[in-house]
Amino acid sequence: MKFAVIVFPGSNCDIDMYHAIKDELGEEVEYVWHTETDLSQFDGVLIPGGFSYGDYLRCGAMANQSNIMAEVKKAAAAGKPVLGVCNGFQILTEAGLLPGALLRNRDLKFMCRTVQLKVENNNTLFTNHYEEGQVINIPIAHGEGNYYCDEETLAKLQANNQIVFTYSGDNPNGSLEDIAGIVNEQGNVLGMMPHPERAVDELVGGADGLELFKSIVKQWRENHVNN
Residues annotated as catalytic (active site), given as ranges: 86, 195, 197
Dist CA 10 CA 45 (whole Å):
18
Residue 179 phi, psi (nearest 5): -70, 130
Cβ atoms 46, 15 nearer than 8 A:
no
> Taking the mean position of all CA atoms in its chain, how far away is CA 79?
16
155, HSE (Cβ side, Cα atoms, 13 Å): 3
Residue 95 phi, psi (nearest 5): -80, -5
Cβ atoms 115, 170 nearer than 8 A:
yes
Identity of the amino acid at 148: Y
Identity of the amino acid at 179: I
173, HSE (Cβ side, Cα atoms, 13 Å): 29
CA dihedral 40, 63, 140, 12 (to 10 degrees): 80
Identity of the amino acid at 111: M
